[in-house]
Amino acid sequence: MLDIRFVRENPEIVKKNIQNKFQDQKLPLVDEVIALDAENRATKQEADALRAERNKLSKEIGNLMKKGMKAEAEEMKKKVTAESDRLAELEKKEAELDEKVKSIMMVIPNIIDPSVPIGKNDTENVEVQRFGEPLVPDFEIPYHTDIMEKFSGIDLDAARRVAGNGFYYLMGDIARLHSSILAYARDFMINRGFTYCVPPFMIHGDVVSGVMSFPEMESMMYKIEGEDLYLIGTSEHSMIGKFIDQILPESALPQTLTSYSPCFRKEKGAHGIEERGVYRIHQFEKQEMIVICKPEESPMWFDRLWQNTVDLFRSMDIPVRTLECCSGDLADLKVKSVDVEAWSPRQKKYFEVGSCSNLGDAQARRLRIRVQAEDGSKYLAHTLNNTVVAPPRMLIAFLENNLQADGSVRIPEVLQPYMGGQKELRVK
């Protein structure tokens, strides 16, 4: 969410940004919110003047009563009453205008970084760099669930009976591999100086609206019926929410946290939930990283965060690439975003396994996360997040890239301690 003062002083910049995101339907909102803001400021000014006048009259009434001038005091009380009625009207109007301004500001997109490529959708995202050689073996790579089924490692039919489409049972060595990847990712991030955290898996509505845009909220979040609670779609939401309404001393920055959580998603939208396998599902587990930092440090942290994911995947011999998200593919709160994609030998192409985002001060403004400098001044923090690893998709990349011609799956050295010393998985 932008600062209303910025919108007021830079309407053309805001409009150009909206056009760069191909959201021209939002262009009228800029003039509308500026007009509402002007009306709101005029209302507040009149209300403040009445409050000052009321305080002044109250003191005068007190002095008149002390002097025994009751008739004069009663006349002045009538004036105070009339002004109080007008003040009540203005205060009601203030609240209504505040809400109207806020509702519009919540849908005006954040200003994207100048380096972001301009494009309509994810088909116009730009490859930045490749890490590792994408190889295609000289034997056929089965579909990922077929690989899992050979190890008796997945039961989709039972999951459908129990919960419907978009769920799964992982079993045996595949379930252990899933947990081992999460444990390794946890330790990987701890070794890079991040504090490990297991957050709440449900959050209040004010946290949801503070960390994401309304379209994202509608397409992703499950609400608990009858309660102000939502199941998290990703742990970054509860991790950033940890700092709601906080004033952090500058000396406490940066806050660097890595978290484990289950994640729950409706997965509404173009892709749907009917895709085969475990690529797009309602429930999965994830290791995440977030940073709360000074504004001038967020570009540096952005590069460090996506590099962590690249390094993790490369440590397991999985080729990856980074993809710069274009303007039309950025969620409204994001300043800049890079996807990390893993190589699929079966499909002979890359697919998304993580996303790194710099949100500037947008989440901090909505959640009121401020920093107190040494001189006592206060400013909004910057927030960033990035996927360390989400094993269902990671399992696809892992199994395809480590499958051997005889049907066994190689276990990279870094994972072997988490797999009881196993160097490979073999069909039993």
At the topology level of CATH, where does 4-105 sit?
Helix Hairpins (1.10.287)
pLDDT at 268: 59
Q: Which of 112, 149, 119 is nearest to 277 (CA)?
A: 149
Provide φ and ψ at 105, rounded to 5°: -60, -30
Task: Identify whether the C-beta of residue 354 lies closer than 8 Å to the C-beta of residue 236.
Answer: no
> What's the pTM?
0.89
Query: Taking 50 as the threshold, does the pLDDT of residue 274 lie above it?
Result: no
What is the average pLDDT value for the chain, to the nearest integer?
Answer: 92
Q: Say if strands 126-131 and 320-324 run parallel, antiparallel, or are unpaired.
A: antiparallel
| pLDDT tens-digit series, residues 212-265 | 877 777 778 899 999 999 999 999 999 999 999 999 999 999 999 999 999 999
Residue with tokens 């056929």: 140
pLDDT band at 64 (very low <50, low <70, confident <90, very high): low
Query: Taking 80 as the threshold, does the pLDDT of residue 72 lie above it?
Result: no
Question: Mean of the pLDDT values across residues 409-417?
Answer: 97
Instruction: Give the lowest-confidence range in 12-16, 46-50, 271-275.
Output: 271-275
Residue with tokens 């309509």: 120
Separation CA 417–CA 421 (nearest Å): 5
Residues of the chain with CATH 1.10.287.40: 4-105
Which tokens go with 174?
């595949």
Establish how many alpha carbons lie within 13 A of residue 79's alpha carbon, considering only the half-sphere containing its beta carbon: 16
Give percent above pLDDT 70 in the chain.
95
Give percent above pLDDT 90 in the chain.
80
pLDDT band at 50 (very low <50, low <70, confident <90, very high): confident
Question: Mean of the pLDDT values across residues 76-85?
Answer: 72
Residues of the chain with CATH 3.30.930.10: 122-425
Query: Taking 60 as the threshold, does the pLDDT of residue 148 lie above it?
Result: yes
| pLDDT tens-digit series, residues 318-327 | 999 999 999 9
Query: Taking 80 as the threshold, does the pLDDT of residue 71 lie above it?
Result: no
Highest mean pLDDT among 88-97, 185-194, 260-269: 185-194
Q: Which of 279, 265, 273, 272 is nearest to 145 (CA)?
A: 279
Q: Which amino acid is at 221?
A: M
Query: Taking 70 as the threshold, does the pLDDT of residue 358 lie above it?
Result: yes
CATH of domain 122-425: 3.30.930.10
Instruction: Give the lowest-confidence range in 36-40, 75-79, 140-144, 390-394.
Output: 75-79
Query: Taking 60 as the threshold, does the pLDDT of residue 275 lie above it?
Result: no
Is the pLDDT higher at 397 or at 58?
397
Question: Mean of the pLDDT values across residues 7-31?
Answer: 97
pLDDT at 270: 44
Query: Taking 60 as the threshold, does the pLDDT of residue 330 lie above it?
Result: yes
Query: Taking 70 as the threshold, does the pLDDT of residue 86 lie above it?
Result: yes
pLDDT at 28: 97
